[in-house]
A and B are shown apart, each in its own frame.
Chain A
Amino acid sequence: MKLLALILATVMLVSAQTSPPAPKKPAESSPRGAALPDGKTILAKSAAAAGGVDAKNSIKTQKIVGKLKVSEAGISGSMIVYRSQRGETYQVMELPGAGKIETGNNGEVEWERSTLTGPKVKRVGKSPTDLLEPDSTDLAVADKFSKIETAGLSTVNGKPCFTVHLWPNGSAPMQTACYDRETFLPVQLEMNGKVPVKLTMGDYRSVGASKMPFLIETETMGKTMRLEIETITLNEPLPPEATELPDEIEKLAFHSPVEVREVEVDKDRPTLRHRPKQDAKK
């Protein structure tokens, strides 16, 4: 029964706030006495390896289409993600036998809706752009982090990588990432929150002027979900789903008698902001 919760947790991992991770194996601190590059250098090289700032800035929108599989549990499905440079996102997973799981953030409302659990407003912003945030999975932007420390050398998928501890700006706890020693592309990210999650990225390909992973494996709750990305399309207009709220989400966010204040979305996350009735959009 919990497999769907696994999927839900995976959906939420992009913005998950986690407690400090405890890597199972301490990274090798100084392989054969060689000095390791400092964290900021690794991230700078990673950003360059991914195509550089200009390539990144040229991407106004992304559409990612892929197939999901949790082989051990016999679950498979499809996934489409839309994301804008500004931070608007819409993601939909379809799992035959379990239905559809959508998540979205149009800048004003962050929401989730699933066939299984129903609609949920996670956060409501004070302005139409209040909730826009940079891509939290972008591990190459040093400005996102208040502290960056190289922790050592590890091995992911049989290849050595630099382990780096990253403290995101704000109150979010530390993450542990690993960057390929040769390419400097990120190959792993660990977040040990309430539900520990480990992402392993691979099969980097060129998309426009950027390098992007086409294989993402998410390990959480004892299961591995494999996302095989089929296509990544850049700079297409976002569909209405990415910017317009579904009716029932709109109703819950702004017009429902259901209490939405005084509720913590998650212990590690900001308290849901209440939008007073008189400010209702419609």
Chain B
Amino acid sequence: MRFIAAIILALGAALPALPQDSDASPLTAEQRKLNLESLEKVWTTVRDTHWDPNLGGVDWTAAHAAALSKIRSARTMQQSRAAMSEMLAKLKQSHFAIIPSDLYKQIQPASKNRRSGDKPENGGAGPKSAADSGTREEECGVGIEAAIIDGKARVVAIEDGSPAAHAGVSLGWELVSVDGYAVSETIISLAAADLPEREMFERAILNQAFLGPLDERVETVFGDDNGQLHHLVLDRAEPKGNLVQFGFMPQERVWIEARQLDGPVEYIRFNLFLDPEHLMPAFEKAVRDCLKCKGFVIDLRGNPGGLGPMAMGMAGWFVNRRGRRLGTLKARNYTLDFDINPRGDTFDGPLAVLVDGGSASTSEIFAAGLQDLGRARVFGTKTAGAALPSEFVRLPNSDGFQYAEATYTSHNGQVLEGTGVTPDVIVTHTRESLLSKRDAALDAAVKWIESK
């Protein structure tokens, strides 16, 4: 996923052990000039648009001077980007990132899938917004989600029918290595890094490890519940979901799944708040199919966010009174309420929302708003605390630049950035629950719904 790649690259300075941009060739004079122009754009954008004119006390002029010195002496794009990333890191806030232009190039579908008329703009990938079925060769995975449980990387979800499922990988197994890379080293690197959104990055990095071309296999080592090692060579599979892009946001795969659990309880999970043209009708169908159900579970674990207004639209299926809002966005010169628009038909029964440290941004806006309104009970673990409304623009050197220009407070006035959403019921994965093939948070949510 490009989002994952972007945050990894954005963390380059903080996580030296992680994969780095491969663009290490010497800079041309033109590139140097464009990098300097890009620095000015990044620096002035933050100076002029950040919701806090004082930037939280950061000496932005000094930050500029330091970055300028490094960029002037940078010999590679990698070094130049690192200097800008370091400058942004001084803000100690989420949603500020430099996105290498390579990512925009990669996100173009292969030429065979490219449609006529899709001409890039600004020398890079142009806006191409419709869902696309083209598969990028680097995005195929094995159908595993991993997370760090009690200090070890463990399998927390396995996609039905995936290569991992076929190979017999089981929930709760420890992920020991991927393509010879010891996962424990990554965990140590992460532990050493000062990361406010640790769990989000942990998940991103662990899951990125499996991605690659469809025709290349992944050599993995897992440890089972008895400590026995399983050396498995896994195929990769086509990624699920639609490939979508909006504006200069990097392209992403978006999927949604909905199924009825016993109760009946409707379970809905989607990986991003993007692709509204497909996601919103699918969400609507899932709600309408279960308006008489006992309850709903919306699983936002691992969902890093997307388009904020979608949270308002989805909440409208569960809030039957007007005048309610999820929260408020506050920029330097304006405020914007995230009003909920109740639908004509709403589900008024128990609603559970599942979150974890991988839930960020719009996921936090949705969960916190409904929690504050007393409309949903939140289960899981504390969210990432990365909830700043942000923009994506292109820089003169063709890199992307993500910047936040507003902060966000939930309905009850809680600033979500750096704080996150604390669930009503804290439920964590445990080795034992996973090995017994149970999803502890989902179980707790369903149990609560059944008790209502």
Chain A residues in the interface with B (C-beta under 8 A): 1-5, 8-9, 70, 72-76, 95-99, 114-120, 194-196, 221-223, 248, 251-252, 255-260, 262-264, 272
Contact = CB atoms under 8 A, between A and B. Distances in A.
Most chain-A Cβ atoms within 10 A of its Cβ — which of B130, B245, B341?
B341
A98 B329 contact: no
A118 B127 contact: no
B260 to A, nearest CB: 23
A260 B309 CA distance: 21
Given A2-B308, A99-B277, A195 B247 contact: no
24 contacts: A1-B390, A2-B336, A2-B405, A3-B247, A3-B391, A5-B329, A8-B309, A74-B127, A95-B129, A97-B274, A97-B277, A98-B307, A117-B313, A119-B341, A194-B334, A196-B333, A222-B391, A222-B405, A252-B342, A256-B342, A256-B344, A258-B321, A258-B343, A259-B321
B146 to A, nearest CB: 27
5 cross-chain pairs, A with B, having the tightest CB-CB distances, nearest first = A97-B129, A96-B129, A97-B246, A74-B127, A1-B308
B390 A99 contact: no
Contacts of A99: 276-277, 280
Interface string B239-257: 0000011111000000000
A272 B322 CA distance: 11
A106 to B, nearest CB: 18
Contact of B244 (A8, A97, A257): A97
Interface in B241-288: 244-248, 274-277, 280
B318 to A, nearest CB: 12
A119 B344 CA distance: 9
A73 B312 CA distance: 22
A75 to B, nearest CB: 4
A281 to B, nearest CB: 15
Q: Give chain B's interface secondary structure class.
A: loop
Interface in B304-345: 305-310, 312-313, 316, 320-323, 329, 331, 333-336, 339, 341-344
Given A116-B276, A117-B341, A195-B334, A2 B244 contact: no
A96 B391 CA distance: 17
B433 to A, nearest CB: 34
Given A4-B307, A75-B127, A95-B129, A258 B322 contact: yes
Nearest to B348: A257
B391 A252 contact: no
Interface of B: 49, 121, 126-127, 129-130, 244-248, 274-277, 280, 305-310, 312-313, 316, 320-323, 329, 331, 333-336, 339, 341-344, 346, 361-362, 389-394, 405-406
A222 B49 contact: yes
Contact of A258 (B333, B339, B344, B389): B344
A147 B78 CA distance: 59
Given A2-B329, A73-B248, A259 B307 contact: no
A24 to B, nearest CB: 11
A4 to B, nearest CB: 5
A137 B116 CA distance: 39
Contacts of A118: 312-313, 316, 341, 343
Contact of B130 (A97, A195, A221, A259): A97
B310 A116 contact: yes
A92 to B, nearest CB: 14
A75 B127 CA distance: 7
Most chain-B Cβ atoms within 10 A of its Cβ — which of A5, A72, A194, A248?
A5
A252 B336 contact: no
Nearest to B284: A118
Contacts of A72: 393
Nearest to B321: A259
Contact of A74 (B49, B247, B333, B362): B247
Nearest to A192: B333
Nearest to B336: A5
A221 B151 CA distance: 43
A257 B316 contact: no
A196 B308 CA distance: 20
A251 B344 contact: yes
A9 B336 CA distance: 9
Contact of A248 (B312, B323, B344, B394): B344
Nearest to A70: B247
A1 B346 CA distance: 25
Given A2-B336, A99-B276, A118-B341, 8 more contacts: A1-B361, A2-B391, A3-B246, A76-B127, A97-B275, A116-B313, A252-B343, A258-B321
Given A2-B336, A99-B276, A117 B392 contact: no
Contacts of A95: 129
Contacts of A264: 323
Nearest to B281: A115
A272 B121 CA distance: 45
A257 B336 CA distance: 27
A260 B322 contact: yes
Contact of B280 (A4, A70, A115, A194): A115
A1 B362 contact: yes
A119 B389 contact: no
B326 to A, nearest CB: 11
Contacts of B307: 1, 4, 98, 116
B392 A116 contact: no
Nearest to B305: A1
Contacts of A75: 127, 129, 246-247
Contacts of B121: 74
B247 A221 contact: no
Nearest to B362: A1
A32 to B, nearest CB: 34
Nearest to A272: B322
A5 B244 CA distance: 19
Contacts of B392: 73-74
A258 B341 CA distance: 10
A263 B329 CA distance: 20
A263 to B, nearest CB: 4
Given A1-B389, A2-B308, A259 B322 contact: yes
